[in-house]
Amino acid sequence: MEHQLNMSAAGIKAQIPQIRPHIQRRGRKVFFLVSRRPLLELSLEEIPLYDGIDGRRTLSELEEMHPGACNRIVRWREAALIELLPPIASPSGPHLVVIEPHMDDAALSVGGRLLHRWGRGRTTILSVVRWSNFTSYMNLKRSFLNVNEITDLRQKESALAARLLGAEHRCLDWSDAPIRFCPPERWSLATVESFNTYPQDFVLAPNRRDVSLLAEQLLQTLELLTPNELWIPMGLGDHADHAMTRNACLMMLAAARDRFSGVPIIMYEDVPHVVDAVGHAEQICATFAECGTCLVRDTEDVTDVFEDKLRAISVYASQFKLSYMEPKVRGVAEREGGAVGRFAEAYYRLQGNPCLPPASRLSRDCSGLTALHTSLRALLPEAARCRRVAVIALPSGHLGRWKVDRESLITAFPNADVHVRAPENIAWQAPEGGKNSLKLQFLHGGWGPWVGLLFRELFRFRTPTLVLWRGAYGSGRKRKHKRAINLLIKLLLPFRQVLFARTLNDFSFILDEELARSPIMRSASLDLAPRPDKLTTGVSSVRSTVRNHCGSDGPSHVRTHP
Ligand SMILES: [Zn+2]
């Protein structure tokens, strides 16, 4: 097996140089995107050669036009300004389709295995997310947020990385989780600041409607691509786009069992998310096993192509520097390699009938979400009789996708007045006020308003209370501390049911699962005639097109930019 980066000198002459999409020439200087520090200064005679690199001419053609081109281009490749690509070929043979949530996941997770398949068949990398405003400038708090520009750049990087991996790149039309949560036109440097402080606040659980819509789109796309083998992400870690993609893939496979009956299905471990997701793969395997889907783990040694994999990953430079990502990728691969100096990638063969268990069972927050399920199940039969409900968000709480998720409160408690109180530090997530029976009020200034709130709530016995805060599930680091805080909150709010959720989005997610699980519950909550002043829209039918505030988006996949 020979791939382009290890070719002989003669082979290199047939290669096609291409300037990396994030490299820009301004005068004689060459820069990384909008950076001010040049990577290189070209001599006057080098400029025609640099401009002659058009992604079509081969190295030998450029050498003919510009004697000495080869040496310069090799130097520029070493400086990561250009890549050398093999001549375009249309390989025949079996068609492998790799589904990835974002443009980079396939290279990070299975780049080595793809390099091993170089030239043995056709490979397509299919990204779910197209639109994004994320670049590494976000971490530097620089205002470089143009969605169209960034999306175009990421697509070009992906096409280039795919060619280095011997694949073609395609993508669906979804938006990245942060701009599903907060539409691009609402982003400012203050939003960037919030994103840097709490990036997880921008990545919320997908709802079932989004998952089924994505499943439909994947099926339509795969009908056209007709894969002979399919690789899908395992959804390790906390990223909602990874969970959504995994769930949609499984929903599609379960629904179109006959169509994919002869197609080997592989689940790959999501790199680098696997680094922090200790025990998550085992949890996912056990959950699938309960519904009859067996995941058989295996690894493939990729030591011989590991440096080439890193090179392909480095092409995604608009998102991260290789110096940041390499230790994580190397660490995971070394762990799987099993011996010093060996690198491997882990994957799972899916055997038996594909199924999709309840999404909460696949989440890393499974135990906390199960507790929320239990509390909600106990409360729902009485919920229609509730006249008053309190929602208290603590400073680390989250109001979810407010305009959608608040509807879940109305669905759950159709005849209650819902009082939502939140601290001013999360006022950016939702607009204050409200109409009819659900009102959001922010508490401004110090402890005084909180003491007053607790005092008033103390005597509101039998008022179901939902408390939103980051430690709600009592898991992870400082779990004893978090559980003690939950206990204290319960003591401060006696004679009522107190529910804990990390975000209002989690509450909505669990309510949705609970209603889907139990038609009786659904009728108890949805079919009882609500008071005339109630909003009557059900949680899964809310697809508001009004997007005038962060956390207020409608359908997640819809393009929210020009
Ligand atoms: Zn990803």
**What are the structure tokens assigned to 419, written together?**
């009082």
What's the rounded mean pLDDT across residues 32-60? 92
Percent of the chain with pLDDT over 70: 90
**541 has pLDDT over 70:** no
**Whole-number pLDDT of residue 436:** 75
Find the mean pLDDT for residues 67-73: 92
Cα separation, 21 vs 32, in Å, equals 9
| pLDDT at residue 434, as a whole number | 75
Please give the distance, rounded to the nearest whole angstrom, from the Cα atom of residue 101 to the centre of ligand 1. Answer: 5
295 CA distance to ligand 1 centroid (A)?
21
Sheet containing 29-32: give its strands across. Answer: 23-26, 29-32, 40-41
Kindly give the distance from the C-alpha atom of residue 238 to the centroid of ligand 1, in angstroms, as a whole number: 10
Distances (CA, A) of 430 to 7, 343, 392, 404: 56, 46, 14, 11
- List the structure tokens of 542: 């809310």
Give me the amino acid identity at 362: L
pLDDT-derived band of residue 69, with 50, 70 and 90 as boundaries?
Answer: very high
Averaged over 377-395, what is the pLDDT? 92
Both tokens of 144, joined, read: 């470089």
Compute the distance from residue 372 Cα to the ligand 1 centre, in Å.
28
Query: Cβ of 467: how many Cβ atoms within 10 Å?
Result: 20
Instruction: Between 490 and 452, name the one with better pLDDT.
Output: 490
Average pLDDT, the chain: 87
Are 109 and 165 within 8 A, CB to CB? no
User: Residue 206's pLDDT is what?
Assistant: 81
Q: Give the pLDDT confidence score for residue 555 in this predicted structure.
A: 42
pLDDT over 60 at 552, yes or no: no
CA of 242 to the centre of ligand 1 (A): 6
- How far apart are the CA of 165 and the centre of ligand 1, in A? 18
What's the mean pLDDT in 448-460? 84
Report the distance separating Cα 92 and Cα 122, nearest Å: 6
Written as one string, the DSSP assignment of 492-545 is HS-SS-EEEESSHHHHHHHHHHHHHH-HHHHIIIIISPPPTTS----GGG----
What does the alpha-carbon distance between residue 228 and residue 97 come to, in Å, rounded to a whole number? 8
Measured in Å, residue 267 CA sits from the centre of ligand 1 at: 14
Q: How far is the CA of 96 from the centre of ligand 1 (A)?
A: 20
Cα 239 to middle of ligand 1, angstroms:
7
Between the CA of 268 and the centroid of ligand 1 the distance, in Å, is: 12
What's the CA-to-centroid distance between 129 and ligand 1, angstroms?
A: 9
Q: Work out the average pLDDT over 462-486.
A: 92
Ligand 1 centroid to 468 CA: how many Å?
27
User: Which tens digit of pLDDT belongs to each residue from 193-202?
Assistant: 888 887 877 8
126: enclosing H helix or E strand: strand 122-131
Q: Report the distance separating Cα 24 and Cα 393, nearest Å.
A: 46
Distance from Cα 169 to the centre of ligand 1, integer Å = 15
Q: Determine the pLDDT at residue 75.
A: 93
Who has greater pLDDT, 299 or 536? 299
pLDDT exceeds cutoff 90 at 134: no
pLDDT of residue 447: 82
User: How far, in Å, from the CA of 535 to the mean position of ligand 1?
Assistant: 36
CA of 271 from ligand 1 middle (Å) equals 8
At residue 122, φ and ψ (nearest 5 deg) are -90, 140
Q: How far is the CA of 274 from the centre of ligand 1 (A)?
A: 11
pLDDT band at 448 (very low <50, low <70, confident <90, very high): confident
> pLDDT at position 450, please?
85
Mean pLDDT of all residues in 332-348:
95
Determine the Cα–Cα distance for residues 505 and 181; give it in Å rounded to an integer.
11
> What pLDDT score does 9 carry?
62
For residues 160 and 88, give the distance between their C-alpha atoms in angstroms, rounded to a whole number.
Answer: 12
pLDDT of residue 403: 86
Q: Could you tell me the distance, in angstroms and rounded to a whole number, from the CA of residue 102 to the centre of ligand 1?
A: 4
Predicted TM-score (pTM) of this structure:
0.87
Other Cβ atoms closer than 10 A to 337 = 19
The CA-atom distances, in angstroms, between 286 and each of 96, 133, 248, 347, 352 are: 27, 36, 19, 15, 14
Question: Domain segments of the chain: what residues?
Answer: 2-85, 95-356, 366-524
Say if CB 70 and CB 89 are below 8 A apart.
Answer: no
- What's the pLDDT band for 8 if we cut at 50, 70, 90? low
Could you say which DSSP state residue 425 is in? G
| Nearest partner of 419 among 439, 399, 447, 444, judged by Cα | 439
Give the per-residue pLDDT at 546. 27
pLDDT for position 404: 87
Min mean pLDDT across 80-84, 321-325, 522-526 is at: 522-526
Separation CA 268–CA 99 (nearest Å): 10
Cα 38 to ligand 1 centroid, rounded to whole Å: 30
Query: How is residue 458 written in tokens?
Result: 């103390």
Compute the distance from residue 493 Cα to the ligand 1 centre, in Å: 40
User: For the chain, how long is the longest CA-to-CA vector?
Assistant: 87
Rounded to whole angstroms, the Cα distance separating 479 from 509 reads: 23
Radius of gyration of the chain measured on its C-alpha atoms: 26
* 2-85: CATH class: alpha beta
Question: What is the whole-number distance in angstroms between the Cα of residue 371 and the centre of ligand 1?
Answer: 28
* DSSP annotation string for 307-369: HHHHHHHHT-TTT--HHHHHHHHHHHHHHHH-STT--EEEEEEEES------HHHHSTTHHHH
Q: Given 3.30.410, 1.10.10, 3.30.70, 3.40.50, which CATH number is that of 366-524?
A: 3.40.50
Distance 351 CA to ligand 1 centre (A): 25
In three-state secondary structure terms, 267 is strand
User: Looking at residues 7-18, what average pLDDT do you find?
Assistant: 78
What separation in angstroms does the CA of 257 have from each of 125, 212, 251, 265, 347? 22, 16, 10, 12, 21
Q: Look at residue 135 and tell me whether its pLDDT is greater than 60.
A: yes
Q: How far is the CA of 25 from the centre of ligand 1 (A)?
A: 30
Task: Tell me: pLDDT of 111 over 70.
Answer: yes
What CATH superfamily is the domain 95-356?
LmbE-like (3.40.50.10320)
| pLDDT value of residue 538 | 31
Mean pLDDT check: name the lowest of 143-157, 313-327, 511-525: 511-525
Residue 294 alpha carbon to ligand 1 centre in Å: 24
- In this prediction, residues 8-29 reach a mean pLDDT of 87
Beta strands in 156-291 (DSSP E): 168-175, 229-233, 265-268
pLDDT exceeds 80 at position 1: no
Q: How confident is the model at residue 545 (pLDDT cuts 50, 70, 90)?
A: very low
The pLDDT of residue 7: 54
Task: Look at residues 88, 42, 87 and name the one whose alpha carbon lies nearest to residue 69.
Answer: 42
Distances (CA, A) of 157 to 169, 326, 467: 10, 18, 43
> Is the fold of 2-85 the same as that of 366-524?
no
Q: How many helices (H) and strands (E) does the chain have?
A: 20, 17
CA of 125 to the centre of ligand 1 (A): 13
3-class DSSP assignment, residue 300: strand
Average pLDDT over residues 347-353: 96
Average pLDDT estimate for 156-183: 93
Residue 105 CA to ligand 1 center (angstroms) comes to: 5
Query: Is the peptide bond preceding residue 272 cis, with omega within 30 degrees of 0?
Result: yes
Q: How far is the CA of 331 from the centre of ligand 1 (A)?
A: 18
**What is the reported pLDDT for 553?**
44
CA of 190 to the centre of ligand 1 (A): 24
Q: Which of 263-272, 359-368, 525-534 has the lowest mean pLDDT?
A: 525-534
CA of 189 from ligand 1 middle (Å) equals 24
Please compute the mean of the pLDDT values over residues 96-109 and round it to a whole number. Answer: 97
Q: Are 327 and 108 in contact (CB under 8 A)?
A: no
Smallest Cα–Cα separation from 314: which of 470, 116, 523, 165? 165
Give distance in angstroms: CA of 153 to centre of ligand 1.
17
